[in-house]
Amino acid sequence: MDAIDNSAAVAQEPKKSTAVARFQARETRRKWLVAGCQIAFGLSFLAFWQYSSGHLIDPFFVSSPIAVFAKLWDWTISGYLWYNLSMTLFATGLGFAIGAGIGFVLGILFGRYKFVADVFDPYITAIYSLPKIALAPLFIMWFGIGLASKVAVSAAVVFFLVFLNTFSGVREVNPIYIHATQIMGANSWNVMRTVIIPSATAWVITGLKVSVPYALVGTVIGEFMSANRGIGFVIAQASALFDTTSVFTGLLVLAIVGSLINAGLKLAEGWLLRWRP
């Protein structure tokens, strides 16, 4: 039997028409233009910073880009950067994994059982509106000064964001898909694996993306208060010594790490959600 109405589909890559080629060329040009402007802006900002440091403002307060990059280079060579950064990354990663894992599982359970969700709703809202960072002193009391309290802070922050997003994602699942797969023979685990989890993926990823900076903030704040190692500790120590250059260098490292994690999640999102229209 011959195919008849396959014209609407694009499964096989057709030959590019000139219109398509022109459209793609325009898109590419635009992308380069944006990148160029971004670099130009960054460089002018650095130039302005360098100029104003010493000319307009006392370098004691704003340091200067050259000093910051020199410091970063120093730290990299001496191993000081990795020694502290690895600690921060480990605590963030662990807190992230614990918070996201528990948030995901509970989000799915609450999403599936509407009654439970309705019962707990006011309590969840109440805890959600607490600034999670305010929990840090409590965690330090419970877990003492060290890794555990930092992990607890970032886990608490990530938990709520992932939990609420997963929950909404599960509530959004189209019941048609659930019924259709059940009729085909799916048991509840099959429905979970092939319908609910994939359908909620977009929400879960959003939760993860939003919580990355918070997890980092949670760890760093933990390190401000109680640590002897980690980027937060480095920043706190430097500020106590009025070492502005080290403070800026620490902040720069955090900014770079945050952007890299987000870029990674964006790639994962693009792949996981490639089925979306």
Partner 1 sequence: MDAVIDIRGVEKRYVGRKGETVALQKVDLTIDEGEFVAFVGPSGCGKSTLLNMISGVIEISSGTIVQEGQAIRGINRRVGYLTQTDSVLPWRTVEDNVALPLEYRGVPRAERVARVKRMLELVSLEHFAHAFPKELSGGMRKRVALAQMLVYEPKTLLMDEPFGALDAQLKLVMQAELLKIWQSEKKTIVFVTHDLSEAIAVASRVIVFSGRPGRIKHVEEIAIPYPRDVFKVRFLPEFERAYESLWQELAPEIERGEDL
C-alpha distances in angstroms, 122 versus 116, 126, 159, 164? 12, 6, 17, 13
For partner 1, which stretch binds (CB under 8 A), given 76-84, 121-129, 186-194, 213-221?
186-194
Q: Residue 227 — φ and ψ, nearest 5°?
A: -170, 165
Cβ contact 148:157 at 8 Å: no
User: Closest CB to partner 1 among 10 and 134?
Assistant: 10
Using the rule CB under 8 A, which residue among 44, 86, 190, 259 binds partner 1? 190
Q: Per CB under 8 A, does 14 bind partner 1?
A: no
Number of shown-chain residues binding partner 1 (CB under 8 A): 32
Q: Tell which positions 101-160 bind partner 1, by CB under 8 A.
A: none
Least Å distance, CB 6 to partner 1, is 7
Q: Which residues contact 90 (CB under 8 A, 6 or more apart)?
A: 147
Q: Residue 185 — φ and ψ, nearest 5°?
A: 115, 10
Q: Per CB under 8 A, does 185 bind partner 1?
A: yes
Cβ contact 110:117 at 8 Å: yes
Cβ contact 218:98 at 8 Å: no
**90, burial (CB in 10 Å: exposed 0-12, middle 13-18, buried 19+):** middle
Reference 86, options 219, 262, 225; nearest CA is 219
| Termini Cα distance of the chain | 30
Q: Per CB under 8 A, does 8 bind partner 1?
A: yes
For partner 1, which stretch binds (CB under 8 A), given 10-18, 65-73, 102-110, 123-131?
10-18
Q: Per CB under 8 A, does 27 bind partner 1?
A: no
User: Closest CB to partner 1 among 199 and 239?
Assistant: 199
For partner 1, which stretch binds (CB under 8 A), given 6-14, 139-147, 158-166, 250-258?
6-14
Using the rule CB under 8 A, which residue among 50, 181, 237, 239 binds partner 1? 181
Using the rule CB under 8 A, which residue among 93, 198, 213, 258 binds partner 1? 198
Binding residues for partner 1, rule: CB under 8 A, are 1-6, 8-12, 176-177, 179-187, 190, 194-195, 198-199, 201, 274-277
